[in-house]
Amino acid sequence: MPLENLGMLALERGDLATARTRFEAAVSADPKSSRGFSGIGVVALRAGNRGAAIDAWTRAVELDRTNFDALYNLGTTLVRDGQRERAQPYLEAFLKTAPPAYERDKREVARIIQR
């Protein structure tokens, strides 16, 4: 978890290289680190690699079906990528798992599902 937290801090600073290094180290130390894979996905998307982001978030969700950040990122990115049908189960799972602090995102996802 410390490496994941360091990765998040690097992301907040906009330091993608350090963030990637920290998240990859987290996954190397714990191959079942859903948060590590989720962070790798964020870094990949910010670096312009949507395919790698989708792959990383898919792995994060496989490891933890309640990783609401990965569910949201994966679902919304798949919708933007024209893969609405593939996105549907991830968006529905996000609605079920996201805490109340994510109410705005939950409303957005509900609108996406209704379209």
3-14 confidence digits (pLDDT tens): 999 999 999 999
pLDDT of res. 9: 97
pLDDT of res. 93: 97
Decide if pLDDT at 115 tops 90.
Answer: no
Domains of the chain: residue spans and CATH: 2-114 (1.25.40.10)
- Average pLDDT in the chain: 96
Which long-range CB contacts under 8 A does 79-85 form with residues at least 24 apart?
A: 79/112, 81/50, 81/54
pTM of the model: 0.94
